[in-house]
Amino acid sequence: MTDVVTVTEPRPGVAQITMADQENKNTFTGDLLAGLGRAFAQVQADERYKAVILTGYGSFFCSGGTREVLLDIHAGESTFQAKDEGTPNAYSLPLECPIPVISAMQGHAIGGGLSMGLFADFVILSRESIYTANFMKYGFTPGFGSTRVFPAKLGLALAQEFLLTGRTFRGAELAERGVPYPVRPRKDVLAAALELAESLAEKPRRSLVLLKEHLVRELREQLPAVIEQELAMHEVTFHQPEVKELLLSRYGA
């Protein structure tokens, strides 16, 4: 593992993948992306594991794309897809993982970071943290599979509010809005994830793998076409002059 992504075994049969790039606030840097790919590959290859917890550090879960990468996309030099064929896309790693994944989103989850968290099988949110699909804040349409996973996991009405407005929600507000996931004080998120993971680890791995495959088959099958549509929208929306201006003036604000 890279220093910014580690794999531990907090309970028998439970893997914990922790993102802790404190210098970059868990944005999708090359180190974080590579570390996530290796971490999920390690977990998938070890048949002792029956459940995965994906979490961050302190007040950050995952902050999505870096400004440099977003500016590269604006310039037509990159996309949000992995550059090398056969390299996994970090945002969909929880979906592709054969065993159940719990996103313990103890901290802020922004843009593609929130999308990645929602691709998990279980989600636990923090009352104090902020959650935002802020793509439209910068003038470009959403990516990272957001246009499919948000409606699937949050319901159409809340997904539309997230995606069209780009507004920021506190976990406590999402709880009041009836988000279909537990919302806990930040200090309790990981403990709740561990309790859930322990209950999953009591089951046979093969049964968990088969049932997850059945439950997520439709989303897995639909995702490639959704990504193509999102990339097509980016060809129209990402290269507008105001997008660069907004990225330079608003990014991180």
Q: Which of 21-25, 38-42, 75-79, 164-168 has the lowest mean pLDDT?
A: 75-79
Among 80, 244, 67, 50, smallest CA distance to 146 is for 80
**Rounded-to-integer distance, Cα 88 and Cα 209, Å:** 19
- Rounded to an integer, the average pLDDT of 60-77 is 88
Tokens (6 digits) for 205: 């791995």
Q: From edge to edge, which strands make up the β-sheet containing 122-126? A: 5-11, 14-19, 51-55, 101-105, 122-126, 183-184
Distances (CA, A) of 251 to 5, 138, 141, 142, 214: 24, 8, 16, 15, 39
Tokens (6 digits) for 170: 């506190």
105 contacts 131 by C-beta, under 8 angstroms: yes
Write the single-letter amino acid at 160.
Answer: Q
pLDDT at 78: 81
Among 146, 150, 190, smallest CA distance to 17 is for 190
Among 144, 142, 145, smallest CA distance to 162 is for 142
Q: What percent of the chain has a predicted confidence (pLDDT) above 70?
A: 97
Domain boundaries, the chain: 5-186
pLDDT at 127: 98
pLDDT at 65: 85
pLDDT at 82: 73
pLDDT reading at 2 higher than 60: no
pLDDT tens, 200-217?
A: 999 999 999 999 999 999
Measured at the CA of 135, the angle between CA 248 and CA 116, to 5 degrees, comes to 120
| Tokens 């968290």, residue located | 117
Catalytic residues: 234
Phi first, then psi: what are they for 132, rounded to 5°? -150, 140
CATH superfamily, domain at 5-186: 2-enoyl-CoA Hydratase; Chain A, domain 1 (3.90.226.10)
pLDDT at 66: 84
Tokens (6 digits) for 112: 């593609």
The beta strands (E) that lie in 68-226 are given as 101-105, 108-110, 122-126, 130-132, 168-170, 183-184
Q: Is 192 left (phi over 0), alpha (psi -120 to 50) or beta?
A: alpha
pLDDT reading at 252 higher than 80: no
pLDDT at 71: 87
pLDDT tens, 114-132?
A: 999 999 999 999 999 999 9
pLDDT tens, 144-191?
A: 999 999 999 999 999 999 999 999 999 999 999 999 999 999 999 999
What's the predicted TM-score (pTM) here? 0.94
User: In whole numbers, what is the pLDDT of the chain averaged over residues?
Assistant: 94
- Rounded to an integer, the average pLDDT of 65-76 is 86
Q: What percent of the chain has a predicted confidence (pLDDT) above 90?
A: 81
Largest Cα separation within the chain, whole Å, is 54
Distance of CA 216 to the CA centre of its chain: 16
**Rounded-to-integer distance, Cα 184 and Cα 196, Å:** 14
pLDDT tens, 81-119?
A: 877 666 678 899 999 999 999 999 999 999 999 999 999
| Tokens 């907090």, residue located | 10
